[in-house]
Amino acid sequence: MKLLFLTMILAGPATFASVATAGDLPRHPDELTFRELVFEPPAPEQFRHELSNGVPVYMIESTEFPLVTITFSFKGGAYMEPGGKAGLAGMTGAMMRQGGTADLSPSEFDEEADFLAANISASVGPTTSSASINTLTANLDRAMELFLDMVREPGFDERRLEVLRSQQLENIRTRDDNGIQIALRELAFLMWGPDHFEARQPTRASLESITTDDMRAFHARIFHPGNLMIAVSGDIDPDAMLAMLEQKLSGWEAGEPAPSIPAPTASPEPGVYYYEKDQNQVQVLIAHRGIARDDPDAVPVQVMNDILGGSGFTSRITNRVRTQEGLAYTAGSAFSNRIEYPGLFMSYFFTKTPTTALATRLVFDEIATIQRQAVGTEELETIQNSLIETFPRNFESKSAMMNLFLSDERTGRDPSYWRNYRDMVRSVSPDDVQRVANEHLRPDKAVILIVGPWDEIKQGNVDSEADPSRVATMDEFGQARRIPTRDPETLEPSR
């Protein structure tokens, strides 16, 4: 572009005149027209293969770079931690990569991975676990051997474990320094119950109790072919890759499949809860149980929530609390859905102590408005167009696309979901938005969790000289209950 510009300057005014008059240029950018972009999501079955041991493999060839990415995904995660061992899942995933293998010390493993320019990782999440490798095609054979040594026979080196343990202990010592971290932790306790894996937190006692034997036993329950699915992308020959996987996985016995993911049994009690913390910024989370991922209303709820608070500056909560009133830098809402059971609806904002009550009222006002009044056509179309136009991003990375198909198969998503998604978004009407707002937003069931200096927060802005309609106190939301301040290492109430 710079070269073209310089050429035009050197060529003189006649060149500019010829460029400016070439073709029928529109008089205004509004008159520009573009060819319609047509995108159809690829069908998962195009990329699905199956090994002789029944392990599904999603694979796509991509020759842009001489690289290969392989992900092993396993069912099983933190929900399988034994009692009293909170933190075992995360530490097991970390130590698989940091702790060497049965044949290689940690430093030897690190050196060989670096020599091969192979990026190797492992992790254990709440419900699934994974291990992945990204390597040069030329180094694939040896890098794959190294990767499989880590996955199948991790070393769990004792000295590396002590280093990791000390890091984790330091993390829990300082976890009450962060108000957002406190708010998310306490909300999880309230919404799921402290014994459910979604709320479970490591303590000093649980971290100190974890041994390498615990890790080996936990690893053995998850990392085997009975829980395995594979995604492959990159500079590969599909037939050769399938043959390699068959050969490399030969003799690896499948164990018992991971158990079902447990649903929570606790019932959150609505009301105002506060956690005392001396800080300038107050964190407020407003939440109630939501819907499951495959609920028939999932797409209308997504559209409704984007209008309410989920689409940034175009959403109502953000516009009202942040832009119009200037009460918070961050404000919005989200439906965080789960697959096996209903997830959460949550609205959030971070504000000053005197304006906490007013901002809370404004959030509930916006919930009431979207339930009471039909959304306008222009506002609805803005959200629909955004969802439809950004839809192809789900498939822009070949590696991410393979992992998406893998996840969909594991979780039993309707195979037609992505093919029909845009039509489902387009079909959402103003009546649908109002209906799902009334059915799935339940302000009367909401938990309001506040982290900050309560005596200042509860007073609100009663001394404000502003419009009386902007005066608010926390009393209007009912009697508040204090959550005991916790010792960060034990999570027991502080004395």
Q: What would the pLDDT profile of 347-361 be if each residue is shown by its tens digit?
A: 999 999 999 999 999
- Asked whether the CA dihedral 74, 79, 80, 81 is positive or negative, the reply is positive
**pLDDT of 161 above 60:** yes
State residue 467's pLDDT score: 74
Record the pTM: 0.90
Q: Identical fold at 44-248 and 271-483?
A: yes
Q: Where are the domains of the chain?
A: 44-248, 271-483
Q: Determine the average pLDDT of the residues in 175-195.
A: 96
Q: Tokens 């209308």 map to which residue?
A: 300
Q: Determine the average pLDDT of the residues in 410-435.
A: 97
What is the rounded distance in angstroms from the CA atom of residue 209 to the CA atom of residue 192? Answer: 25
State residue 250's pLDDT score: 93
What is the rounded distance in angstroms from the CA atom of residue 162 to the CA atom of residue 267? Answer: 38
State residue 463's pLDDT score: 63
The b/e string for 308-317 (b: 16+ C-beta within 10 A; e otherwise) is bbbbeeebbb
DSSP character at residue 433? H
State residue 350's pLDDT score: 97
Q: What would the pLDDT profile of 63-75 be if each residue is shown by its tens digit?
A: 999 999 999 999 9
Q: Determine the average pLDDT of the residues in 145-170.
A: 97
CATH 3.20.20.70 fits 271-483, yes or no: no
State residue 465's pLDDT score: 65
The architecture in CATH of the region 44-248 reads 2-Layer Sandwich (3.30)
Q: Determine the average pLDDT of the residues in 437-456.
A: 97
